[in-house]
Amino acid sequence: MVEEFHIDGIRFDAARQIQNFDFLHWVVKEAKKAAGVKPFYSVAEFLPDEPCITNIDGPMDGCNIIFNSRYIFLLIKNICL
């Protein structure tokens, strides 16, 4: 599917509820392998946010900050002065 549709990333909703980093590592590894030399980015919605999902041993390349409540409050505070 990655090759056929030229997918360049994947986002996992509710990654905390999956509760299986081995599975997430495997899915990300297989997707990146299918992408070949093309960059492939994996993102997770992981609430509350913790570095374990994106640290050096974590399965994801990034964490979705749109749903991060601390980020939203900071954004609202600075936009709605």
Model confidence pLDDT, tens digit, residues 23-65: 999 999 999 998 889 888 888 888 777 778 888 888 888 776 5
Contact present, 44 and 11 (Cβ < 8 Å): yes
Q: What is the pLDDT of residue 79?
A: 82
Residue 81 pLDDT level (bands cut at 50, 70, 90): low
- How many domains are contained in the chain? 1
pLDDT for residue 13 is more than 90: no
Q: How far apart are CA 62 and CA 48, in angstroms?
A: 14
Paired sense of beta strands 9-12 and 62-63, if any: unpaired
Domain of 41, in residue numbers: 2-79
pLDDT at 67 over 60: no
